[in-house]
Amino acid sequence: MIKVLIIGASGQLGQSFQYWAPHFPGYKFLFKDLPEFDLMDQMAVSAYFMETSINIVINCAAYTAVDLAEKEQDLAKKVNTDAVALLCDLSKKHQFKLVHFSTDYVFDGTANAPYREDHPVNPIGVYGKTKAAAEAIIQAAAIDSWIIRTSWLFSPYGKNFVKTIFSLLQNKEKIDVVSDQTGSPTYAMDLAEATLKAIDQNPEFTGVHRYHFSNSGETSWYGLAVEIKKLNHSSCRVNPLTTADYPTAAARPKYTVLSGEKIKKEFNLTPRSWESALEACLKKIK
């Protein structure tokens, strides 16, 4: 039986993998997270792999506080970059394959067509830089690995934009939401399911491969908020705002729609629309 270790199991993506794991009975899943599994504790993590035989590691652990990362640069680097370097070293030593999640924020947002996997990275904030650095480390290590970039992640779990807006719509008369940043919302449940389906098709993959996965279609944060309002029949007013009107510690890329053609072609995975995924998520949240 193929043994799969999920790191970062209590985050929104990790919990989505926990949901899908029983649907893949040919695999033995192990779920680990803080405090008992700390990627920054090199000795403890190394000891774990000495004692436990693992075939595939799925790394869902990440520092994702985009604005706070501008202040907590060292911590963001430790979690998003240094921990990945450790996993690469351990992959070479213990021969496990690595599935690692990256982000649309490795791009600068100046494109006017969906980003393909081979588009040069050019992150504009600390968060994106730490994630791009991790990608470079995996590439240089040349281990058997998948780098899966995703965007605008939401789910019924943890903290995310959809849950925040859902709550605000119930408690406010009006909210202001940025309307000039464009991307593709991604349902963490769909990302986890697609990843496991891809692994199931090719569990013996070799070499480094980059993929993009998001739900189909594109919108702005404002457009996403309006759709949440519509699905909730909320009377709260949603007003569009420009990025300039809403300054943040970290610069945000203006356009980060990801092309998902490669993962569709290789694994016959066709993501549903973000609107359909959002509706499914809101049903779970309610």
Distance between start and end Cα atoms, the chain: 37
In the chain, what are the domain boundaries? Answer: 2-159+185-217+257-273
**Exposed, middle or buried by CB within 10 Å (0-12, 13-18, 19+), for 140?**
exposed
Return the pLDDT at 76: 97
Alpha-carbon distance of 239 to 176, in angstroms, equals: 5
Which residue bears the tokens 């985050």? 11
Return the pLDDT at 32: 97
Alpha-carbon distance of 189 to 200, in angstroms, equals: 17
Mean pLDDT over all residues of the chain?
A: 97
Alpha-carbon distance of 103 to 77, in angstroms, equals: 15
Q: Each residue of 49-93: pLDDT tens digit?
A: 999 999 999 999 999 999 999 999 999 999 999 999 999 999 999
Alpha-carbon distance of 267 to 117, in angstroms, equals: 15
pLDDT > 90 in the chain, percent: 99
For the 2-159+185-217+257-273 domain, the top CATH level (class) is alpha beta
| β-sheet bridge partners, residue 154 | 187
Q: Each residue of 132-170: pLDDT tens digit?
A: 999 999 999 999 999 999 999 999 999 999 999 999 999
Main-chain phi, psi angles of 178, to 5 degrees: -65, 130
Residues 246-266, mean pLDDT to the nearest whole number: 96
DSSP secondary structure code for residue 216 in this structure: B
**Helix (H), strand (E) counts: the chain:** 10, 12
Return the pLDDT at 153: 98
Return the pLDDT at 127: 98
DSSP secondary structure code for residue 91 in this structure: H
Alpha-carbon distances, residue 279 vs 50, 66, 73, 157, 264 (angstroms): 44, 26, 36, 15, 22
Catalytic residues: 127
For the chain, the helix, strand and coil percentages under 3-state DSSP, each to the nearest 5 = 45, 20, 35
Radius of gyration (Cα) for the chain, nearest Å? 19
Q: Each residue of 208-252: pLDDT tens digit?
A: 999 999 999 999 999 999 999 999 999 999 999 999 999 999 999
Alpha-carbon distances, residue 277 vs 156, 184, 272 (angstroms): 11, 11, 7
For 105, other C-beta atoms within 10 Å of its C-beta total 29
Return the pLDDT at 182: 98
For 218, other C-beta atoms within 10 Å of its C-beta total 19
